[in-house]
Structure 1
Amino acid sequence: MELNRKLYACMSAAAARVTIDQVTIGLGYTAVTTSDGGIGIAATCVARDGGCAGQRDATDFEGRPAIDLLGQIMEAAPMGRTMALATVNALNHRYARKLPEDPGNTLLFDHFNIRSGARVAMVGYFPPLVRRLEKQKISLSVVDDARGMGDKKTFYGQLDGWADVLLITATSIINNSTETVLAHAGPDLKTVLLGPSTPMVPEAYGHLPVHMLAGTDVTDVQGALKIVRHGGGTRALKPVSRKIYWLADTDPR
């Protein structure tokens, strides 16, 4: 996948300069810290066959050059890709800390005119967003493999002509479906890649119709690592992080 190659290319120079400090794999999220003080998280992948992630053969990346773990983004093993995506986010921590916040998704809704009458497609079920969309009586179509929701053929057809906005989970990078989904995007569709796993690396998406990145900047390293160890999810991470964003049409580059 081109996105994997671009993420690797964008972060390889940074990865060559640091080592992996700690890899923490929790039930909800995986965290990676680097020797320069960086931390990144990504949603822990669970095998689709229902198998436990703990069945994988473990490789110890701690103390090794970060480039070794970053390279897992090109591999097929989902858990390796999870760790690699967390590594991308750790290597990118200095840039992420400069990005503005959108704590209540106000900018997201306003910028893309998501209000009554709008039509939204969603890859990955986001409960807080779903509740808000339903409350505002916004038409919604969802596909989520883990929850057994949606018909992909119908959903893909809705991305060209029906949907105004596509909200796609960044865990799609882990299962290599991001580019497959976006290949069906119509010319007028506005696309937002979101969730704590989101790599805030704008230059990696130049070949894709991505209009907004909405990710997470961890502000309390030890607090976040404890939450990950205890199996915490997205809600638990809120007190130890900022919800950040990047908009394609406001980037001066």
Structure 2
Amino acid sequence: MPGISHRYVQIAEAIADRIMLPPIEMIYIPLPADEPGCRQKFGAVVLADGSVGIMFILMDDTTPQLQQCVESQRYQGKSPLLMARSFTSTDPVQKTLALGALNAIARFILHKCGYQLDYTTDSMALFNPQPGDVMGMVGYFPPLVGRIREANIPLTVIELKEELARREPGFIVTTDARELRRCTKVLCTSTVLLNDSLDDILQNCRQAERVAIIGPTAGFLPDPLFERGVDTIGGTFIEDANAFLENCREQEKWGPAARKYCIRKEGYPGYKTLLAGLGTRD
């Protein structure tokens, strides 16, 4: 099985072979904040039809380089496939932009195919911890951490920074993904797709009853993840690109411009089935 980054590029190319993708209309990268605590975490790739792909922009302090890329207008008016192909790159700037492009392509194709997203199921609520569970997290989800610890259910959190590691009864923070092997439920932040750790993470989740990847940047098609044992994706769908961008520029909450959704493995037909209902490429 190819690495997950290569698999996502394969799917993007298959989609582009079947249907004309709308070109990139703009790339939004927020201006640097005067104070570190006020920095915005997300940018976006916006296609000509209004499809929006959200991207996390604080990996490896890439914001200045991302802004330079946007100012060069290298991708303006081009197919998002050109940007998406860089998802296999080790360059964090190119990989960040590629994830935004993949998310925008997914938004476009799901809407084009008439796929009905589930806006009612809470992805995190599916991980309601029960006695006997051993919970795992890749990334830190504060609301859920509090609930788990109050219920005295064992919790393991995987972090990238060694200085955050700690061990105490029922609570482990570690950089060692092998600690996930004893977990019954694992919740991952969607940013794991940017640091190339996901394949290793999922290798250590094979015994888990449930694995989910959630976050605003989890707007990608779920097929490669479902193929690897993930059963739930929780992302954010931008319904109004203009309102979303205005809220971002004003540093306001996204509000009704954005809606959280859940895709579960059971009931999802797969991208090939979705594409089968479309006409050929114009």
1:25 aligns with 2:36: no
The answer to whether residue 105 in structure 2 is matched with residue 63 in structure 1 is no
Asked if 1:80 is matched to 2:94, the reply is yes
Secondary structure of the corresponding residue to residue 17 of structure 1? coil
The 2-side partners of 1:239 and 1:133 are apart by 30
Identity %: 23
Quote the Cα distance in structure 2 between the aligned partners of 1:198 and 1:98: 17
* Structure (1 or 2) with the larger CA radius of gyration: 2
3-state SS of paired residue (2:212): strand
Which stretch has the larger CA shift, 32-41 or 216-225?
216-225
Partner residue of 2:56 out of 33, 43, 52:
43
- Aligned-residue offset at 1:164: 0.7
Q: How does 1:132-147 map to 2 (within 5 A)?
A: 132-145=147-160
C-alpha contact 2:206 2:229 (8 A) present in aligned 1: no
Note the 1:143-154 alignment, pairs <5 A: 143-145=158-160, 148-149=164-165, 150-153=173-176
Displacement after TM superposition at 1:119 (Å)? 1.6
- SS of residue paired to 2:192: helix
CA change 1:222–1:128 in 2 (3 A) is farther
- The farther-off stretch of 201-210 and 36-45 is 201-210
* 1:172-191 superposed matches below 5 A: 172-191=192-211
| Aligned equivalent of 2:117, options 95, 99, 108 | 99
**CA 1:136–1:220 in structure 2 vs 1: closer, same or farther (change >3 Å)?**
farther
The residue type paired with residue 21 of structure 2 is R
Q: 1:158 aligns with which of 167, 176, 179?
A: 179
User: Which residue of the other structure, out of 57, 64, 76, is the alignment partner of 1:54?
Assistant: 64
Counterpart position of 2:247: 227
Using structure 2 for the length normalisation, give the TM-score: 0.75
Which SS does the other structure have where 1:92 is aligned? Answer: helix
Shift of 1:20: 0.5
Alpha-carbon spacing, 1:102–1:179, altered in 2? closer, same or farther (3 Å) = farther
Structure 1 unmatched runs, 5+: none
Secondary structure of the corresponding residue to residue 261 of structure 2: strand
The answer (yes or no) to whether the contact 1:169–1:194 under 8 Å persists in 2 is yes
Of 220, 226, 235, which aligns to 1:215?
Answer: 235
Q: Cα RMSD (Å) of the superposition?
A: 2.6
Q: Which residue of 1 aligns with 2:126?
A: 108
Q: C-alpha distance in 2, partners of 1:148/1:79?
A: 26
Q: CA deviation at 1:180?
A: 1.3
Q: How far apart are the structure 2 equivalents of 1:44 and 1:132?
A: 29
CA distance in 1, matches of 2:147, 2:250: 28
CA distance in 1, matches of 2:117, 2:220: 9
Q: Provide Cα deviations, 1:174-213, integer angstroms capped at 9, x if missing partner.
A: 1111111111223344211111111441322354111111
Find the aligned partners of 1:180 and 1:40 in 2 and give their Cα distance: 25
Query: Which residue identity is paired with 1:91?
Result: I
How far off is 1:223 after superposition? Answer: 2.4
Give the secondary structure class of the aligned counterpart of 2:46.
strand
* Equivalent of residue 257 in structure 2, options 229, 240, 253: 240
Query: How far off is 1:221 after superposition?
Result: 1.5
Specify every segment of 5 or more residues in structure 2 that has no aligned partner in the other structure, as ranges. Answer: 31-39, 166-172, 271-282
Q: TM-score, normalised by structure 1?
A: 0.82
Q: How many residues align?
A: 241
Q: 2:244 corresponds to which letter in structure 1?
A: A
Partner of 2:228, secondary structure, is coil
